[in-house]
Chains A and B, each alone.
Chain A
């Protein structure tokens, strides 16, 4: 645990009234929906950004939109900060609470309310897991497209908060492009609905604004998401190159050629070795960079697309090409990639960074990333969504060594600055949270941040919602 990132100082007036607040909340909620014993609060003190922890004042686990409205309205009247939480899988600390905050966890709101295939829409409660939507409609030939690595656990509410993506977003877009409507509770307890089953809505695009707002504009309790017809088939191909430059150039040219694969995943040498040792996916170990390119469609279509892609790869001196002969082989190729985080965790502690750069800068940013990490005496493994420039460097370190921990964090910050300086941005699909909050000024000028903060204030004048996140702690509106 490090302490480089500050939290807001807890409101002493709130802490002093802890017992009273807990008594009041227990009256507002059904039984078994309030947690306040320290031992039971422990699972809520952090999320997947585990190096920071704060014990919340209490955790409310509402069963309905009305419950959420009661709790949030109460907190608003009494000046108590509120931290929304889905499954707690945030990698940027988006769900880490603070001592004076009530956590509103949506885990009990996990019903799929309506599946409407004629309108290709599903309406779900915010605590439903990402994967369960696709599972529900799979037999009907549909799926929900955004597929974050944590999709087995993470919730739609959290996905909306962070505008989550995944490997297959190159073709289908991220959460904001697949969200049709929400029911949300504003800070004062007012319930509003935005959007619905129509493809657009009247007035300002508040739905677009809410998606990715990291729980600072309100708490989403229900969502209507777009369903898409499943492709007939999908097939990955593995390409090995001597250098990252060759792989990067190949990615740019595939895209410029008019083919949009459904996914283009990149792994560097370190990542290849780690994943191969774990998954035995048959990755070549004599290459410097690996691409997994997946196309979708009928057999004939996939043959057509892959033929062009292989041709382009050959023009970029591809060393290994492995087309799958069976579903088993395809699964194996993905198994290696999908186990990257777990496999890395076996050999070292790591932090998973998330930044986005223009495609033309991929090779440069990779090279500089390597230099930064070496400067700190650490190692890095790169696995990322190359098709949209979303980098995920995994910085390896020993969490029991305080200096290495601090160095890893500092190296991560340097890498994010590098992404911005290369024309990209601080986030891809993990959000800002607390992790990247203090770098916001590196990406935005004061006037840009002020405009965003003003909009945030239009929703939550007292800044009670997830207050330690996203915007630097100093320079906020009075």
Chain B
């Protein structure tokens, strides 16, 4: 595959204009570390943003950063750490799970709307995204949004670009919120709960005024992969608190008292807590070096465990939960069984499933993204035409 790696917006625009004129499809990506997303594409030429790098503007007092989209995530994180700030949405690194290589870029984070455990309290990547610049399918360089925290003037196109997986344009620059980093964190572990019991416990924790910033449940099959952990022979329900150290201590006492009757409790200190949540963020329990199908399923928090219970009656499946039970990581033992999974998602009240890892053959037989109702799908198609009239950006990737 030929890969164009422009270093400026203008170069990128020229490449797009040329391909639009010839109606030749372009595969759009940043570092391509999230290549597992979407339906397979048959593009012979790619356009990568990874040549457009560098932090353009960063004033910590404004809690806003602007960076070119090809800037490595690691570079962004290092700059933020130096000013005790962060991306609140905790973006996942997909490489271990998807068995991909490449350097994750900040543009890719937003193009895939990648959000981790803190999403339940701090919003998704799209909530932090304030402004974008992108090249559309006509080769125009478009700016949308801005660099202030309240900025929906006209239509909120940055939201539309977030999670559009390069099908609407090539992101060239992103501006996003960067709030203060938490001074410390601790995690409460409740051992031995069933999936259903854990769901109730997580909901109860989220209803307390202690600002739980991570709520996950590892059934015993998954918990046992944490060999070093003392809970390894039981399920583990995990509740994270973050903030100023004095404040975390006060809230942890309150949370511990409230959860005391539910099971045996233990605590993780800052370092163990950080390692654990990075593991959950990256879905590391299923980063097993195989190509067994992995789905990322999003449903109402109270529905996750019911979905898994229903599936277990029909197929071999392993699962763990983030986002208070609403984000279900599923690893199928054999086939992806997309139709069966989507049937059960509808039965528990709706949501969607995204196929993140599968063999090429399994991919060919399963839609990577949840099919949309007809009216919404038509609308999405019309929107796509307004950005990419020749249909050259990542054709077929989102269905």
Contacts and interface: CB of A to CB of B under 8 A. Distances in A.
Q: Do A and B come from one complex?
A: yes
Interface of A: 116-121, 140-142, 163, 165, 169, 173-174, 176-177, 186, 190, 192, 194, 196-206, 208-209, 211-213, 229-232, 252-253, 255-260, 297-298, 300-301, 304-305, 356-360, 388-390, 423-429, 432, 436, 440, 443-445, 447-449, 451-452, 454-459, 470-471
A252 to B, nearest CB: 4
B156 A211 contact: yes
Instruction: Say whether chain A's binding surface is mostly helix, strand, loop, or mixed.
Output: loop
Contacts of B317: none
B398 A203 contact: yes
Contacts of B180: 255-260
A190 B375 contact: yes
Contacts of B61: 252-253, 255-256, 359-360
Which of B143, B300, B354, B382 counts the most chain A CB atoms within 10 A?
A: B300
B183 A203 contact: no
Contact of B244 (A255, A305, A444, A451): A305
B148 A298 contact: no
Nearest to A456: B155
Given A203-B398, A445-B143, A359 B62 contact: yes
Contacts of A198: 298-300, 326, 350-352
Interface in B200-214: 200, 203, 206-211
Contacts of A177: 123, 127
A140 B207 CA distance: 9
B289 interface: no
Nearest to B373: A192
A163 B375 contact: no
Contacts of B247: 297-298, 300-301, 304-305
A441 to B, nearest CB: 11
Interface in B91-131: 113, 115, 119-120, 123-124, 126-127
Given A169-B150, A360-B59, A203 B141 contact: no
A358 B352 contact: no
Given A176-B156, A212-B156, A429-B150, A300 B209 contact: no
Contacts of B164: 204-205
Given A198-B326, A212-B156, A456-B155, A423 B207 contact: no
A126 B121 CA distance: 25
7 contacts: A119-B300, A119-B326, A140-B207, A199-B124, A204-B168, A209-B155, A257-B180
A448 B398 CA distance: 25
Contact of A174 (B150, B153, B200, B300): B150
Contacts of B380: 203-204, 206
Interface string B147-178: 11111111111011011100010000000000
B143 A200 contact: no
Contacts of A444: 143, 154
A429 B208 CA distance: 29
Given A258-B183, A305-B244, A424 B146 contact: yes
B321 interface: no
Contact of A203 (B60, B162, B369): B369
Which of A259, A297, A470 counts the most chain B CB atoms within 10 A?
A: A297
B51 interface: no
Given A117-B207, A444-B154, A202 B143 contact: no
Interface in B292-348: 298-303, 323, 326-327
A141 B209 CA distance: 8
A66 to B, nearest CB: 15
A451 B387 contact: yes
Per CB-CB distance, the 7 closest pairs between chain A and chain B, nearest first, are A208-B159, A197-B300, A212-B152, A202-B370, A258-B180, A202-B352, A252-B61
A169 B164 CA distance: 27
A356 B209 contact: no
A198 B325 CA distance: 10
B262 interface: no
Contact of A423 (B115, B147, B211): B147
Nearest to B130: A425
A264 to B, nearest CB: 12
Given A199-B120, A359-B61, A451 B349 contact: no
A448 B157 CA distance: 10
A388 B148 contact: yes
Contact of B150 (A204, A390, A423): A390
Contact of A440 (B149, B154, B207, B382): B154
A440 B146 CA distance: 13
Given A118-B203, A199-B326, A356-B150, A231 B209 contact: yes
B144 interface: yes
Interface in B207-255: 207-211, 244, 246-247, 250-251, 254
Nearest to A423: B147
A356 B136 CA distance: 27
B200 to A, nearest CB: 8
A356 B376 contact: no
Contacts of A452: 144, 154-155, 157
B234 to A, nearest CB: 24
A106 B149 CA distance: 30
Contacts of B136: 451
B149 A389 contact: yes
B250 A301 contact: yes
Given A165-B150, A203-B376, A455-B160, 17 more contacts: A119-B203, A176-B127, A190-B375, A200-B115, A203-B369, A212-B155, A213-B155, A255-B63, A258-B84, A258-B181, A301-B251, A360-B59, A425-B146, A429-B150, A444-B154, A451-B387, A455-B383
A11 to B, nearest CB: 25
B159 A176 contact: yes
B10 interface: no
B372 interface: yes
Contacts of B376: 192, 194, 203, 206
A181 to B, nearest CB: 10
B282 interface: no
B206 A202 contact: no
A448 B127 contact: no
Contacts of B386: 451, 454-455, 457-458
Nearest to B148: A356
